[in-house]
Amino acid sequence: MSYTKTDMLSHKIIEILKEHSDEKHPLTQQQICGYLEEKLGIKPNRKTVAQHLKSIIGDESCNVFIADNDNDDDDKSDKKYITDIYYASDITAEEYEFLADSIIYSPMLPADYVRDLIKKINILSTGNTKSKEANLRETFHYGNKSIFLVIENIKEAMNTNRKLDVTISDYDKNGKLLTKSDPQSGIKLQRVMLSPYGIVMADGFYYLLASDVRYDDLRHFRIDKILKASICEEDGSMRDVKTLSNVPRDLKPVQYKNLNRYMLDGTVERVHINIKKKDISLVLDTFGNEFTCNKVIGNDDIYDVTFRANIQTAVRWAIANRKAVKLTSPKRAVDIVKEEISALSEMYGNQER
C-alpha cells in the first residue's frame, strides 16, 4: 500500500502529527489512535494504522520520521508496532516563535490581521508552537484596517515613479484612526503630495520615506497613520531623491533608519560622545556599527566615540543613558540637553514628596 493524497486515513494521521508532534515530542501509535478517535469519532484498527504509518514513513515527501533510539539498531519501519513518530517541520519551534512574536508585537497591525497571520504561519510549525494566539489578548494593536492597501499603493507609486496624494490622520484615546478632523481632540487631517522613496520599520511600525512637494528635504511618515494614499496620474513623476537637501550620497532606506533611530524630526549631524568602555554596546544597540572609537587621554575607562545621527535622537538617547554617556558636540545638541534637563528640573522640582 502506498500513500496518496486521496487516502483519508493517511491524510488525517499526517495532520495529527503536524499538530501534536515534533522531534522533541514524538507520538506513540496508541496516542495517534486516540487522536484519530477524537477527530473522526471512530475507533481505528491498530493494525490498519500501523500499515498506514509504515507507508507514510517510507515516503520521504511526507516528512514523517521515527525518533532515534540509541538502544535500537534495527530498521524501525519493519517493526509490527511503531512508536515515537513525529512530523519534521520546515522550521524549528524557535524559528516559529520568532516569526510569531514579530507579528504579535507589531502594534501597527489590527488584531484581526494578526490573528489571521498567526493562523497562516501555524502550518509551518508543529507540536507546542501553536499557543501564540493567546498572547494576542495581552498586547495592544491599532485599528487601521487599510494599512496593507496603503502599502500596496505606496509600492505601486514607487515602481511606476509616481507621486502620492496622501491623507494623514492620527489616533484618538481609544486607538481609533480618525476619518475626519476632531477639534475637541486637536487632531486635524492633513492632505499632502509626496514623492515616495522607500519603506522602513522601526520599533514595530512601518514608515514611509518621502519628500513633501512643498519642501526640499527627505521626511518620514508613519504608514499606519495614513488614512488614504492615491497614486497621482497627472502630476508628473516623483522628485529625484538626489536633489533633496538632507540626503547623503547613495542613501538607502535602512541607512536612514540607523541615522534616525527614534524616527524624530531633526537634522542629521556628526555627534561626539564620551562613554564608559563597558557600555559601548549602547551605541551598537541604537546606532549600529558605523562609528569611530578612540581612547580618552588620561582616562582608560572612557571611549571618545563619533557617529552620524539625528540630533533629536542623539539628545534623547544621551539623556536616557546619562549615567554612561556624555554628549560633547555639536554645541547645539549639548545646549538642547541642558535645556531639557532644566525643563525637567523645573517641572518636577516643586513637587511635594
Position 63 scores a pLDDT of 87
Q: Are 240 and 163 in contact (CB under 8 A)?
A: no
Average pLDDT over residues 232-258: 77
Position 336 scores a pLDDT of 96
Quote the cell numbers at residue 145: 484596517
What pTM does this model have? Answer: 0.77
Q: Can the peptide bond before residue 330 be classed as cis, meaning omega within 30 degrees of 0?
A: yes
Looking at every residue in the chain, the average pLDDT score rounds to 86
Encode pLDDT of 88-142 as tens digits. 887 777 888 888 899 999 999 999 999 888 888 877 766 555 566 667 778 899 9
Encode pLDDT of 194-231 as tens digits. 999 999 999 889 999 999 999 988 999 999 999 999 99
Give residue for cell 546619562.
Answer: 322
Quote the cell numbers at residue 94: 524557535
pLDDT at position 150 over 80: yes
Q: Are 153 and 230 in contact (CB under 8 A)?
A: yes
pLDDT at position 69 over 80: no
Position 2 scores a pLDDT of 46
H helical segments located in the chain: 8-20, 29-40, 46-58, 93-104, 111-122, 147-159, 253-259, 281-287, 311-320, 331-349
Phi-psi bin for 288: left (phi > 0), alpha (psi -120 to 50), beta? Answer: left
- Model confidence at 4, pLDDT cuts 50, 70, 90, reads very low
